[in-house]
Amino acid sequence: MNKINEVRKPPVATTGIIGWLRINLFFNWTNSLITLFVIYCLYQFIPWILDWTIFSADFKYNYLGEQITNQEMCSRNLDPENGGACWAVIYVRFYQFIYGFYPKVEVWRVNIAYVMLALALLPLLYARLPYRKYFLYFTYIFPVIAYFLLNGGLGFAEVSTNKWGGLLVTLVLGCTGIALAFPIGIMLALGRRSKLPVISMMCTLFIEFIRGVPLITLLFFGMVMLPLFLPEGIDMDGLVRVLVAVTLFQSAYMAEVIRGGLQAIPPGQYEAAKSLGMSYWRMNLLIILPQAIRISIPPIVNTSIGLFKDTTLVIIVGILDLLGIGRGTLADTNWLGLSYEIYFFVSLVFFIFTFGMSRYSLYLEKKLKTGINMGAD
């Protein structure tokens, strides 16, 4: 046997599970201590949380087998010693959490709108979707369809926005705010960097004013002051007023995020585009913005997640979004005191949406390789 051809395996302690454990969890004694401490905490916490949320929890029936219709029938209220979460409140109120006070006979319209929203998002999320072009056409007309579906008109009975609530309001506010703020934000960012003093000053003024004011103040302005200035007869819908405030707020932030991306583009890119004889719009649309938006993906998603969570502030102007429905439920004498269950559920829903957004942005970053240096030297 030739000794030189013999391949020696790496030491056991540096490969496989053991190696990974050693390097990541037990590298030195401080690491080992911290690892043991965390494991102990998880050991204490996880069984308890699993027991509370799942194993001892009531979903529809309590431990006596009765269907739960108020908080007194929850196992944990019948017998404080055993019994975990009382999810029956979510079960009973699920309709309100998802649709608000939307009339039951018309609710199929909301369901269709939810399905269509998913379909409209598909081509935006997956570039390799078959027939993506046709899906994209659908995405463009989706807002119009959704408007008539949800609000009424074109043969659908009208459902006033007063009856909207829960996840429906949260999604309408979040999606419209994010979708509208993006183009407005781009225009504002370009405007602020414009060489024309009037445009640049107006954009700067707008951005600084909106950014300098808390969202609550804008919501109040939209909700309370606007109708006082409008002449009687012009009745602007409450939800629309809030939507306007949310969109203005979000577009100011979006503009600054995109401006950050624009500033990272080396002047050579502008000069190269101009030397090819491109106009201002062609240069921005074809050369500058694709690069600028690509490197701004993390902060764009960041502000979008922020907006999605900020929509809960609309409770202050009396619109019941997902969180508002939760608080309304807590005020029902039948369900007093179930705040843990309700806030847990609401945060779970928000987590699913925001975590989804954040995962998607990671996927985009990987796909577009935003990390690479784009010749900015």
Q: Which residues form the interface with another protein (CB under 8 A)? A: 69, 72, 76-77, 80, 92-93, 95-96, 100-101, 160, 162, 220, 223-225, 227-228, 231-232, 238, 315-320, 324-325, 327-334, 336-337, 339
Which CB atom, from 340 or from 360, has the smaller least distance to another protein? 340
Q: Which is nearer to another protein, 72 or 271 (CB)?
A: 72
Query: Which residue blocks in the chain are alpha helix, DSSP H?
Result: 16-24, 29-50, 75-78, 88-99, 107-125, 132-151, 167-192, 197-211, 215-220, 226-229, 238-263, 267-275, 280-282, 289-295, 297-310, 322-330, 339-368
Q: How far apart are CA 94 and CA 57, in angstroms?
A: 17
Neighbours of 341 (CB within 10 A): 27
Distance CA 334, CA 328 (A): 11
Amino acid code (one letter) for 90? I
Give how far Cα 272 sits from Cα of 278, 291, 293, Å. 9, 14, 19
State the minimum distance, in angstroms, from the CB of residue 349 to another protein: 18
- CB closer to another protein, 309 vs 327: 327
> Smallest distance, Å, CB 301 to another protein?
31
What's the closest the beta carbon of residue 87 comes to another protein, in angstroms? 15
CA separation for the pair 318, 161 (Å, rounded): 12
Rounded to whole angstroms, the Cα distance separating 367 from 126 reads 11
- In whole angstroms, the minimum distance from the beta carbon of 247 to another protein comes to 20
Q: Which of 233/371 has CB closer to another protein?
A: 233
The neighbour count for residue 349, using CB atoms within 10 Å, is 18
Give the CA distances from residue 124 to residues 118, 146, 196, in Å, rounded to whole numbers and listed in that order: 10, 17, 34
Question: Closest distance between another protein and the C-beta of residue 246, in Å?
Answer: 16
Comparison of 178 and 320: residue with beta carbon closer to another protein? 320
| Closer residue to another protein, CB minimum distance, 123 or 326 | 326
Cα dihedral value 335, 339, 342, 345, nearest 10: -150
Cα distances (angstroms) measured from residue 195 to each of 4, 35, 192, 280: 70, 56, 8, 11
Least Å distance between CB 226 and another protein?
9
Q: Which is nearer to another protein, 256 or 341 (CB)?
A: 341
212 versus 231: smaller Cβ distance to another protein: 231
State in angstroms the smallest separation of the CB of 230 from another protein. 9
Q: Shortest gap between Cβ of 345 and another protein (angstroms)?
A: 16
Supply 247's token pair.
């969109």
